[in-house]
Structure 1
Amino acid sequence: MSHPQMPKKIEDAKIAILTCPFEPPKPKTKHKVDIDTVEKFQTLRQQEQKYFDDMVQKCKDVGATLVICQWGFDDEANHLLMHRNLPAVRWVGGVELELIAIATGGRIVPRFQELTPEKLGRAGLVRERSFGTTKDKMLYIEHCANSRAVTIFIRGGNKMMIEETKRSIHDALCVARNLIRNNSIVYGGGSAEISCSIAVEAAADKYPGVEQYAIRAFADALDSVSIALAENSGLQPIETLSAVKSQQIKENNPHFGIDCNDVGTNDMREQNVFETLIGKQQQILLATQVVKMILKIDDVISPSDY
């Protein structure tokens, strides 16, 4: 809340979502005001106070019980909001405003003149809460009509721990997003790369020219993922890869991969290890594009050549 004496809990809140500041209007051209008497200063102050009073009264007239504003408040406006029993929150980001509008069913209002009761958002409970041993505070907006917006609050012992957690959560959200965009999956543990390598090697025999060497090199590059998995798991990389590859060919089952967890089976389907198809496609596509970009470079010019 913008004022420490404002209520910290509001039930059945009617929220005015504003992108206009609680400030007097400013001319778009350069201007200067000369004040040489006390009477002029009093007149200017009364006019500013009237602006603030009208803004707060407009919010009260439409029935708002909470104001959420993208910009800051003048001290005069903050004082009036507190005395008129109208809690307010300031300096809310544009993205957060959009999410609040979606969740509460309200409309973002750019001017006070456009504020109407139909544009107010509704929430069953709005409360301010402190957390941890710090003095930081958060505003909880709960029991909304369309509350699909969720805030994930991360706490940790140090900044490195928090950043690592944020990266992990971001990766997990990206996986969920990929599954929503395309729910096709491939099995992990290097099984997808091994089956692709087998298919590419089989296709190389159809090209009698020099191209088959490039195709076989691509197949060897696909095997490097499985070799790295075996090395990281403390296994013999070449022996493990050869055994899994022969097992895939023998049983015609593309689900066999590297048993990194020492479960006792190489079948990634039984281990429930899988990846999104769209993610695997992007990995192979980007790696191929990088190699193509490097191969296009014929020579490297060093400063000594000039």
Structure 2
Amino acid sequence: MASRIAVEHLEHISQKFGFGPTNLEPLVQTCMTTLSSKIVNRCKRALAEISVKAVLSVADLERKYVNLDLIKVEGKVGGKLEDTELIYGITVDKDMSHPQMPKQIEYAKIAILTCPFEPPKPKTKHKVEVDTVEKFQNLRQQEQKYFDGMVQKCKDVGATLVICQWGFDDEANHLLMHRNLPAVRWVGGVELELIAIATGGRIVPRFQELTPEKLGRAGLVREKSFGTTKDKMLYIEQYANSKAVTIFIRGGNKMMIEETKRGIHDALCVARNLICNNSIVYGGGSAEISCSVAVETASDKYPGYAIRAFTDALDAVPMALAENSGLQPIETLPAVKAQQIKENNPHFGIDCNDVGTNDMRAQNVFETLIGKQQQILLATQVVKMILKIDDVISPSDY
């Protein structure tokens, strides 16, 4: 009951957040708020802009739906954090299978294969006896003919790039290069799926099923080298029929990249929440204090210890904020609560940054309504689960 009152009150004190295709600044500011407390806060503006652009690239604004699976977050050690970029496409941590294959393909038609690009091996235990040169030559010619047929099949359907889940040997690689068919091998299953979604292609499990309609299309496929290192990556970008994007993070060490990934994930979720529901509540514990006052007022109508205990639980958040900011929690919290009641203003919270004002609206500290409501609802669910447990049997009782 207390949870319901708090969630409804949040709806009551929330405000609509205005942004549009031409005015993305409010979204960027919100994501910057998320990144302020992270290690990456020196680049928060650039990372916030990247996060907003990524979410808007994959968002369905009519349905107010964002599929975050279409945003791939990749990282590579080396370079500065400022080198982090948004790629309107997919990156694959592979390079062309032969060094003499073209490094850039425009208007690529991509065959996405999960079948091995080599002659089939018998499933049963087998032994081939080759006792003459003629037999060996014959065997080799048969293999080459089989492989030529595979390459020709790809050529006939119009493929200009082959992406294969399995590998192929040096001879196969050599033949592919001579037949002018660039190829990438050992690409993982998850990456294959993303490439298929992004390019509008179909994953082909057998060569017999390869048709022109199943090819993926990309405006540009290019191989990129990183500085003086031998690291190379394949960029598949510029396509019209899908929306998958990649945020490519650079950093001095692995820890920095992992921390940036976590920060960007938070920023993506905040931008997603605002696109799904553009209502916000103000932070700094102001929303919790306001809900606490509302639940306390309602406790006269619904008397009970549980309702009163719920108000104490809501007060724990601003009290922890005050304590962590070096303020006197027992003095600060009642003062802010009294200010909220006196001025009937739910925007007053804990002045964590020592700006000189408790008005979170003036400090521009806010969070999404969806996120705040979910916090209260989930916390209530957990408490209800714990309360359903009557007794715990431990081995020491026997």
Q: TM-score range by the shorter chain?
A: 0.7 to 0.9
Output one character per residue of 1:177-198: Cα deviation in whole Å (capped at 9) or x when no partner.
Answer: 2223333322211111111111
Q: 1:161 to 1:261 in 2, by over 3 A?
A: same
Q: Bigger radius of gyration, 1 or 2? A: 1
2:111 and 2:154 in contact (8 A); partners too: yes
For residues 29-84 of structure 1, what are the alpha-carbon distances to aligned partners after superposition, in whole Å with 9 as ceiling and x for unaligned?
A: 66665556555444433322222111111112222221122222233321211111
Residues 103 and 145, structure 1, Cα contact 8 Å, conserved in 2: no
SS in 2 for 1:100: helix
CA distance in 2, matches of 1:120, 1:300: 59
Q: Deviations over 1:201-243 (max 9, x none)?
A: 112112345xxx1111111011111011112222221222112
Farther off after superposition, 118-127 or 216-225: 118-127
2:276 maps to 1:167? no
Cα pair 2:220 2:236 within 8 Å, conserved: yes
Q: Deviations over 1:78-131 (max 9, x none)?
A: 121111111111222333333333433333333322333343333332211111
* TM-score (normalised: structure 1): 0.88
Query: After alignment, is 37-46 or 159-168 more displaced?
Result: 37-46
Question: Aligned-pair distance for 1:2?
Answer: 0.9
In the alignment, is the contact (CA less than 8 A) between 2:200 and 2:242 conserved in 1?
no
1:190, 1:225 within 8 Å by CA — same for their partners in 2? yes
Is the counterpart of residue 23 in structure 1 residue 118 in structure 2? yes
Residue in structure 2 matched with residue 277 of structure 1 by the alignment: 369
1 CA distance for matches of 2:330 and 2:257? Answer: 38
Question: Residue 52 of structure 1 contacts residue 76 of structure 1 at CA under 8 Å; is this kept in 2?
Answer: no
Higher relative contact order (CA 8 A, sep 6+): 2
Give the stretch that moved more between structures: 131-140 or 292-301: 292-301
In structure 2, the CA distance between the partners of 1:85 and 1:270, relative to structure 1 (3 Å rule), is same
Query: Equivalent residue of 1:55, what SS?
Result: helix
Q: Distance in 1 between matches of 2:365 and 2:266?
A: 16
SS at match of 1:125: strand
**1:49-198 mapped onto 2 (5 Å cutoff):** 49-146=144-241, 148-198=243-293
Moved more, 96-105 or 46-55: 96-105
Asked if the contact 1:22/1:55 (under 8 Å) is kept, the reply is: yes
Of stretches 163-172 and 60-69 in structure 1, the one that deviates more from structure 2 is 60-69
Query: For structure 1, which segment, 1-10 or 279-288, has the greater mean C-alpha deviation from structure 2 after superposition?
Result: 279-288
Q: CA deviation at 1:250?
A: 1.7
**Structure 1's 31 and 281: CA in aligned 2 closer, same or farther, altered over 3 A?**
farther
Deviates more, 1:94-103 or 1:193-202: 94-103
Q: Which runs of 5 or more residues in structure 2 are unaligned?
A: 1-95
Paired-residue identity, %: 93
Report if aligned partners of 2:100, 2:177 keep a CA contact under 8 Å in 1: yes
- Farther-moved stretch of structure 1 (141-150 vs 238-247): 141-150
Q: CA–CA distance in 2 between the matches of 1:220 and 1:251?
A: 22
Distance 1:184 1:93, change over 3 A: farther
Distance 1:258 1:31 in 2: 76
Matched, 1:13 2:108: yes
Give the match's secondary structure for 1:128: strand
Q: What is the CA-CA distance between 1:148 and the residue it aligns to?
A: 2.1
8 Å contact from structure 2 (residues 280, 367) kept in 1:
yes
Contact 1:204 1:215 in 2 (8 A): yes
CA RMSD of aligned residues (A): 2.5
| Cα deviation 1:125-150 (Å, max 9, x = unaligned) | 22111114532211122322246222
Pair 208,114 (structure 1): closer, same or farther in 2 beyond 3 Å: closer
Moved more, 264-273 or 78-87: 264-273
Q: Distance in 2 between matches of 1:243 and 1:17?
A: 64
Partners of 1:208 and 1:7 in 2: CA distance: 76
Give the drift of 1:273.
Answer: 1.8
Structure 2 CA distance for partners of 1:208 and 1:197, relative to 1, 3 Å: closer
Cα distance, 1:37–1:165 mapped onto 2, change above 3 Å: same
Q: Which moved more, 1:8-17 or 1:99-108?
A: 99-108
Inter-partner Cα distance in structure 1 for 2:297 and 2:227 = 60
Q: Which moved more, 1:100-109 or 1:228-237?
A: 100-109
In structure 1, distance between residues paired with 2:285 and 2:256: 29
Evaluate the alpha carbon distance shift between residue 230 and residue 214 of structure 1 in structure 2; reply closer, same or farther with a 3 A threshold: same
- Where structure 1 has 5 or more consecutive residues not aligned to the other structure, the ranges are none
Please say which of residues 261-270 and 222-231 is displaced more in the overlay. 261-270
In the superposition, relative to structure 1, how do residues 233 and 81 fare at CA in structure 2: closer, same or farther (>3 Å)?
same
